[in-house]
Structure 1
Amino acid sequence: MRVVIAECSVDYLGRLTAHLPLATRLLMVKADGSVLVHSDGGSYKPLNWMSPPCSMAEIAPTEDETEEGVQSVWLVQHAKSEDHLRIRIHRVHHDSAHDLGIDPGLVKDGVEAQLQALLAEHIETLGTGYSLIRREYMTAIGPVDIVCRDATGMTVAVEIKRRGDIDGVEQLTRYLELLNRDPHLAPVTGVFAAQLIKPQARVLAEDRGIRCVTLDYEALKGMDDTESRLF
């Protein structure tokens, strides 16, 4: 990962346009090719970003940009669309690179892990005719909790949380964007499942076409009849 703190302005051009005026910001270039622009506020969410697959090139500024004090330009181009970022750097305060190694991924707490196992075993909790494809379906950005099919054969990605908030909806949204690029899976719909779903998360999920399901942990455990098992 490359971490740069610089005085810069940012323009996003493509399906939409956005401009960030000159200010000191944190720029992150990750090993997967993504580029994120952060301020010193706004919690975890970047002000602007480009998701992979994309490529980045550092190019010389134009004459007009040089006159404005621009020292270098980052051009970040998405590989599958015309969307691109143009980051004009006026002054660099810090520039370093770090090898973070292979991330083991998110380790869920006991309740989430059990919810996932129980829901996978009783996948028709989501609806009659549902069938399991697999748990922990691996993608380039992490494992999807459950991937299954509904009664019509459509692929469904399920994100499971103990407490469902906006972060979980955003996570599922990223998975759906990636899975829908796979012609063997697309179209893929989403289910956000949790013991408790916050109102803001429910509104965001439904606005994005994601179905919300409230899970009853005790009921799922009751469905898991261990006495009838051989092992």
Structure 2
Amino acid sequence: MRVVIARCSVDYQGALEAHLPLATRLLMVKADGSVLVHSDGGSYKPLNWMAPPCSMAEVEPDDLEREEGVGSVWLVRHGKRDDTLRIRLHEVLSDSSHELGIDPGLVKDGVEAQLQALLAEHIGTLGEGFALLRREYMTAIGPVDILCRDATGTTVAVEIKRRGDIDGVEQLTRYLELLNRDPHLAPVQGVFAAQVIRPQARVLATDRGIRCVTLDYEALRGLDDAGARLF
């Protein structure tokens, strides 16, 4: 991972246009190719970013940028869309690189681990004809909760959460981008499964072609017969 603190301005062009005026910010370039722009606030969420597949090149500033005091420019392009991120560095305060190695992934709490085991046992909950391939399918960026196939033979990656937030959708998106590079698995579809899925997470998942499934913990355990309910 490359970590840079710099006085910079940022312009994003794609489905919409966004501009970040000159300020001191944290820039992160991850091993998967993603580039993130952070401020000293806003918790975990970057001000702007480019998710993989993408490429980054450090280019010379144009004449106008030089007159404005720009020393170098990061030009980030998305690999599948026309989205670009142009980061103009006026002053670099710190620039360091660190080898983090393979992350073991998030350790599930008790409920999430039980949900994973129950869903693997009752994989038909996802739909008729689904077949389990493997639990905890390991990738270079962590384990996919469940890997299975649907009735058509398409590979499906399932991310399981107790509470489904945007972070979980982003995590599954990274898995899908990596798995779809494997010709033995591609094309890989995604399912985001949770007991509760927040509206923002559902909107993001739908926009990315990821199906959302709400899990009934008691029904999976066989303690609640949904067909016998009056309401």
Tell me if TM exceeds 0.5. yes
Partner of 2:154: 154
Which AA in structure 1 matches 2:149?
R
Q: Which amino acid aligns with 1:173?
A: T
- 1:139-176 CA deviation, whole Å, 9 max, x = no partner? 34332211211222222221101122222223223333
Q: Which residue matches 2:194? A: 194
| 3-state secondary structure, aligned to 1:135 | strand
C-alpha deviation, 1:77, in angstroms: 4.2
**Residue type matched to 1:64 in 2?**
L
Percent of aligned positions with the same letter in both sequences?
Answer: 84
Which secondary structure state, in structure 2, belongs to the residue aligned with residue 49 of structure 1?
A: strand
Please provide the CA RMSD for this pair: 2.7
- Cross-structure match for 1:227: none
Offset at residue 126 of structure 1 (A): 1.4
Q: Structure 2 vs 1, CA of residues 78 and 190 (structure 1 numbering), >3 Å: closer, same or farther? A: closer
TM-score between the two structures when normalised by the length of structure 1? 0.80
The answer to whether the 8 Å contact 2:11/2:19 transfers is: yes
Q: Establish whether residue 71 from structure 1 lines up as the match of residue 76 from structure 2.
A: no
1:11-65 CA-to-partner distances (Å, cap 9, x unmatched) read: 3346665433222211012233322111233332222223344443433322321
Q: CA deviation at 1:68?
A: 0.7
Q: Match for residue 89 of structure 1?
A: 89
Deviation at 1:8, TM superposition (A): 0.7
Structure-2 separation of matches of 1:207 and 1:59: 33
| Greater mean deviation of Cα atoms: 155-164 or 183-192 | 183-192
Contact 2:103-2:141 at 8 Å conserved across structures = no
Q: Partners of 2:128 and 2:215 in 1: how far apart?
A: 16
Q: 1:98 and 1:179 mapped to 2: Cα distance?
A: 25
Corresponding residue of 2:48: 48
Distance 2:123 2:41 in 1: 40
1:121 maps to 2:121: yes
Q: Conserved in 1, the CA contact under 8 Å of 2:105 and 2:141?
A: no
Q: Which runs of 5+ in 2 are unaligned?
A: 224-231
Matches within 5 A, 1:17-32: 17-32=17-32
1:135 corresponding residue in structure 2? 135
Distance in 2 (CA, whole Å) between partners of 1:166 and 1:100 is: 24
Cα distance change of structure 1 residues 197 and 60 upon mapping to structure 2, 3 Å threshold: closer
- Aligned residue pair count: 223
SS in 2 for 1:75: strand
Gap change, CA 1:217 and 1:2, over 3 Å in 2 = same
What is residue 175 of structure 1 aligned with on the other side? 175
Assess, with a 3 A threshold, how the Cα gap between structure 1 residues 203 and 29 changes in structure 2: closer, same or farther. closer
Q: Structure 1: where are the runs of 5+ without partners?
A: 224-231
**Change in CA separation of 1:205 and 1:48 when aligned onto 2, cut-off 3 Å:** same
